[in-house]
Structure formats: structure tokens, C-alpha cells
Amino acid sequence: MVTLMYLLGISIIMLIYSMVWKYVFMLPITLIMMVLKLDQFKLSFTALQIIGYYILSSLLILYTLGYTESYDLQGKFTLFTVLTGILLFVSAINEIGGKSTDAERSGDYFTLEAMPFIITGVFIGLGVYILAAFQPEIALNPISVFVLKIIRYITQYDIINWILSIVGSLYLLSMMFYSAIYSLSILALGTSKIFGKSV
């Protein structure tokens, strides 16, 4: 139960952050860069992804530290960071797949050309999370601390917390579903290669 509550909290943080990052930061920044026609626009995608995942990684690590200390679960810090890492990885894969599919459907060739830079930024960002899991002090920065305080303040209101809990639960279930699908796909691929070689 404690683990599920932790994962629910992580899901809520990821949901709130993804919406704020996408619509408050990324959308206007992308529009400005497109208008200015910056030469390094595609490379900037990588930088923005790294910054975004650094802030998100910091939020998740700080929340995990606070949760384990509050409930005297320091021994589960490694387990919690691994579970969160899996959710973060699945979320990143879905994000990449979603952007690629949307770009193909809409004929957005610019985004398709920028995908290698986006993917590079995402995986470097995941690397930052792994590094922060081993060196939590990396997660300490004013932006992440401030955002985490805002999220905790918002969730103090019962109605908002109730809504976020429902949406967060659905998000968590979807991530668990995708995790199972990806795991089965990898297992099927590995099995086919093993039996393929043995034939």
C-alpha cells in the first residue's frame, strides 16, 4: 500500500510537470525559435529535453527522499528510484512515439528531422535521472525545490487532490500497462531470436 501511494504521488508529479513544461514553457519557446529561425534550432531541442528531464529528475528524486524520510522507509529508496525510473523510461518512450506518429500524420517534416535530436536529449535526460539516483545532491536546485513546494501546496486542497488522485491513478495504470506490453515485446523478441538460432 505504501509503495502504491508513493507511485501515485510520482504519477501526479509527472502529470503536473508534463503539462506545465509542455504548454507553459516548450510551446512558447518553440514558437519563438521558429519565428526567429535560429540556425541551431534542432540542436536546441536536445538542450531543452536535457533541461526538462533534469528538472523532472530532480523533482522525482527530491520527492522520493522526502517520502522515504517521512515514512521511515530509507531502506526502500533504491526500490522506489528503480520503479520511478521504469515509469520515467516508459513515459519517455511514449513521448517519442507520440511525437513521431503525430509528425508523420500531419506531414511535419521539421519535427521528423528533429527527432534524432529529441531522442538524444531524452536519453541523456534519463541518464541524468540515473546519476541523480546515485548522487541525490545533484537534484538540489532552486527551481525543483520551488516547483515541488507548489505541487505540495496545490494538493493540500481536498477537491484538487481528489481530482489529481483519480487522474494520477489512471496515468499510473496506463504506464503499468505499457510497461507490461514493452516487457512482453522484449521477451517475445528475445525468445524468437533464441529459438530462431536453435532451429
Q: What percent of the chain has pLDDT over 70?
A: 90
Per-residue model confidence (pLDDT) at position 197: 54
Query: What pLDDT does residue 199 have?
Result: 46
> Where is average pLDDT lowest: 20-24, 27-31, 127-131, 172-176?
27-31
pLDDT tens figures, 132-170: 888 888 888 888 888 888 888 888 888 988 999 999 899
pLDDT at 37: 67
**Backbone phi, psi, residue 37, to 5°:** 55, 55
Distance (Å, whole) CA 151 – CA 132? 21
Q: How does pLDDT run across 12-38, given as a tens digit for each residue? A: 999 888 888 888 887 787 777 777 766
Please, which residues have CB within 8 angstroms of residue 25's CB and are 6 or more apart in sequence? 52
| Main-chain dihedrals φ then ψ at residue 135, nearest 5 degrees | -125, 75
Parse the chain into domains and list their residue ranges: 2-198
Total-model pTM:
0.82
